[in-house]
Amino acid sequence: MTANLPPQYDPQATEAKWQKYWEDNQTFKADPEAGGKPYCVVIPPPNVTGSLHMGHAFEETLIDVLVRYHRMTGRNTLWLPGTDHASIAVQTILEKQLKAEGKTRHDLGREKFLERAWEWKAESGNTITNQLRSLGVSVDWSRERFTMDEGLSAAVLEAFVRLYDEGLIYRGNYLVNWCPASQSAVSDLEVDQQEVEGHLWHFRYPLTDGSGYLEVATTRPETMLGDTGVAVNPQDDRYKHLIGKTVTLPIVNREIPIIADEFVDPTFGTGCVKVTPAHDPNDFEMGKRHNLPFINIMNKDGSLNENAGEFQGQDRFFARKNVVKRLKTDGVLVKIEDYKHTVPYSERGKVPVEPLISTQWFVKIDPLSQRALEALDQSNSPVFVPDRWTKVYRDWLVKLKDWCISRQLWWGHQIPAWYAVSETQGEITDTTPFIVAKTEAEAKEKAKAKFGNDVQLARDPDVLDTWFSSGLWPFSTLGWPDETKDLEFYYPTTTLVTGFDIIFFWVARMTMMAGHFTGKMPFDTVYIHGLVLDENGQKMSKSKNNGIDPLLLIGKYGTDALRYTLVKEVVGAGQNIRMEYDRKTDESKSVEASRNFTNKLWNAARFVMMNLEGQTPEQLGSPSGGGGLELCDRWILSRYYQVVQESRNCLENYGLGEAAKGLYEFIWGDFCDWYIELVKSRLQQDAEPNSKKVAQQTFAFVLEGILKLLHPFMPHITEEIWHTLTQTGDDRCLALQAYPEADISLIDPELEQQFELLFGTIRTIRNLRADADIKPSVKVTAILQSESEKERQIISDGSVYIQDLAKVENLTVTASLDAESPLGNGGQGGSIAGVVGTVQVLIPLAGVVDLAALRAKLEKKLSKVEAEIKHTAARLTNQKFVDKATPDVVQGARDALAEAEKQAEILRDRLKLF
């Protein structure tokens, strides 16, 4: 059977073929009973509402490179896929649909609304996972999880009830980020800090004893209606005598104290700050320290409540204008300044969040964070790559406050608490007693024992923050709380690959939850990657509309090309990468370069297979086994094993970009550009049989090794070529082959250095031929001079390669040149000369080219370039042109002038030779 590849590589057909093969054959299905050393990664679950963006493509490619590599090294590998239910995102989509129908979720009721949510999930919720398939990720699809599937929901119930029973979950009043648009508490991660052009309003609070006033300033004047104090720094001499006195709050006429607190910066503004404990996080803490009243003036829809007096019912921003108007009328408004400041916006509701006192469910963080801190400080667990993120992670564990876990939504894990509403006139209030249980039946039994048989229960309508379920992800996906074989074998997981922006929102929550529930950190290593920036080095975002669609680039260049580009651009773990992109044409030069690399590999593989006479690498045998290796065979094997060693070292130490670059240089440069050329003559029909066989063995062996080395980065093209090269059926695939190991005995750094000299010599001769316009078909005489005996020996040993690749008929290697030689008098007299290292290269031109014609040709070319220089220089000295032309046009002219001057210099140097 003769192995053949089609003349052209078709990435779309090839990639779809192998993605289907891997999934249909469950190639990546994990088996905990197979033994070995586990390597487990759980996917950072993308939102079920999402579609594949460049950040996903980057992250999943990095993970897949690691997973495929470790699978090939013999590890028992599981990469577990799944999605997050994304409470706010899904609810927002559904409520928009209902609004278009003139309805609200309350019109449907909770049960019907959730039916509709599950219908949406069935129809649209798999978009992101189907798009992940197009990346060729080697996940175990049989273990795909969803944060609201039956198993994970059971884990959430178990975790909540355990934490509550242990006193680590409580219900209480706290200041939360409130989104008036979605009417829900939102986490810090769902808050987008936006810089806005606003105002700073200054007004006076009169001292109650009539002895003067204090001036305060605020960006939110409407909140003054809820003020319960004014604070000054205890060391501020201006106000020390006033501490303990009171002021009368304008409009409201409430008497409030002047307190002393170290938090106040005496250098900011007037050194006095109004204190609104129910509507500002810093004031909240001050209010607790000084036992100030907490007065909420805000309804959950962003309008003002009864505590706002005459402003009750007004929207917060409308009320702001009216409060300022009233302060001005009352003569206490001092001034209004323009003021640029940062305002927190709800990412989902797209409105400013309101710090609001609200009754919510909370997790006590301190015991959980202490466990994670102990693991970090005592065992350096988990290990962060790069290490600089260790401090960031630690600092956040120290600073974390109790975690608000309730959300006023319907889509999500409903909180397993039942209120005895019969105790509070059928309503859920802040004082209604409740029962926490896994099921309603269990809650009913507990409630009857406590409140009697006639007790009426109502379940808490809120759902849990999605970070609660995703905090359990590394172990709930493996079967916890049940003692499953997966959990026993694959947990703790090996590596978490994620972005730096969610270290504290997700990574810390996973370590805290895992430490508490399993007694172990959930992963050994956290590999923190950077961002994919746009063509201008800017972070991609919806607001900037500067995203780059990975699916578009996959359609244009192929998955392998995009994957390779993303990894190859990484210089050092954790670094951002910039994606080259032309928005007018939707083209990327960097991805195109990787596509060209796939074509280079394809064509090289076709050439190799056409010269193996139908034999597979296995049939040909190992090139190192039978002897007869020639110089270039020993060189390519040395380079190959060097690359094997470097690739393994890089991948073991998260140097993914470095590994990709090293393979690129070896495959394109050493193998394709040099080795293939070096052995072509040995593959001819009339070549010496043993030499031909060794060349075929080496060819096949190195090509198969290249496919294995490159497979984690470019899985589709390597799988296709490997099957054709090895003539393997559907029962085996490259993805499950062993990753190459280095044969140290065949690594020869000195030989590699020698070939560097040979290649330098060949390049120099080729360049000299081009300079002298020597036709490719014409063979030349070359004289190589070096005083170094070692260099002369290297050149002599490799003379056949120099003659073959540089088209040299007569080659002379000498220690010196006499004064009569053309090289001895500076290259004059019809010769052209160059230098490589300390080797001087001379090519006599007599009889090879028409020197007079060549000189005339060079002079004509020089004359044309000099005319171009004169014309361009004149344009640039014309002030009208410089002033009227666009900067791009002017810079283009300058670049053209510099290039022309460089060409002129080269032409003058060449003319000196004749």
pLDDT in tens, 763-820: 999 988 888 888 888 999 999 998 889 999 999 999 999 999 999 999 999 988 765 4
pLDDT in tens, 305-314: 999 999 999 9
Q: Can you tell me the distance from the alpha carbon of 199 to that of 338, in angstroms, rounded to the nearest whole number?
A: 5
User: Does residue 560 register a pLDDT over 50?
Assistant: yes
**Size (the chain), residues:** 914
Question: Using 50, 70 and 90 to split pLDDT, how confident is the model at 823?
Answer: very low
Question: Using 50, 70 and 90 to split pLDDT, how confident is the model at 849?
Answer: confident
User: Does residue 624 register a pLDDT over 90?
Assistant: no
Q: Identify whether the C-beta of residue 297 lies closer than 8 Å to the C-beta of residue 239.
A: no
Chain position carrying tokens 């001034």: 335
**Both tokens of residue 744?**
């140290």
Residue 821: predicted pLDDT? 54
pLDDT in tens, 363-385: 999 999 999 999 999 999 999 99
Q: Can you tell me the distance from the alpha carbon of 94 to that of 722, in angstroms, rounded to the nearest whole number?
A: 48
Least confidently predicted of 39-53, 718-732, 842-856, 864-878: 842-856
- Which residues touch 874 (CB under 8 Å, ≥6 apart)? none
Residue 634: predicted pLDDT? 95
User: Does residue 30 register a pLDDT over 90?
Assistant: yes
Range 449-458 average pLDDT: 94
Q: Can you tell me the distance from the alpha carbon of 717 to that of 14, in angstroms, rounded to the nearest whole number?
A: 7
Share of the chain above pLDDT 90, in %: 72
Residue 597: predicted pLDDT? 97
Q: Can you tell me the distance from the alpha carbon of 274 to that of 255, in angstroms, rounded to the nearest whole number?
A: 13
Residue 887: predicted pLDDT? 85
Q: Can you tell me the distance from the alpha carbon of 386 to that of 526, in angstroms, rounded to the nearest whole number?
A: 9
pLDDT in tens, 200-259: 999 999 999 999 999 999 999 999 999 999 999 999 999 999 999 999 999 999 999 999
CB atoms within 10 A of CB 24: 9
Whole-model pTM: value is 0.85
pLDDT in tens, 767-781: 888 888 888 889 999
Question: Using 50, 70 and 90 to split pLDDT, how confident is the model at 629?
Answer: very high
- Which residues touch 657 (CB under 8 Å, ≥6 apart)? 567, 568, 569, 570, 571, 572
**Both tokens of residue 690?**
């043993």
pLDDT in tens, 320-347: 999 999 999 999 999 999 988 888 888 7
Residue 510: predicted pLDDT? 97
Q: Can you tell me the distance from the alpha carbon of 221 to that of 229, in angstroms, rounded to the nearest whole number?
A: 15
State how far the alpha carbon of 810 is from the alpha carbons of 780, 781, 799, 842, in Å. 7, 5, 10, 12
- Top-confidence residue, 913 or 697: 697
DSSP conformation letters of 70-103? HHHTT-EEEEE-EEB--HHHHHHHHHHHHHHTT-
pLDDT in tens, 411-447: 999 999 999 999 999 999 989 999 999 999 999 999 9
Inter-helix orientation angle 749-771/631-652, to 10°: 110
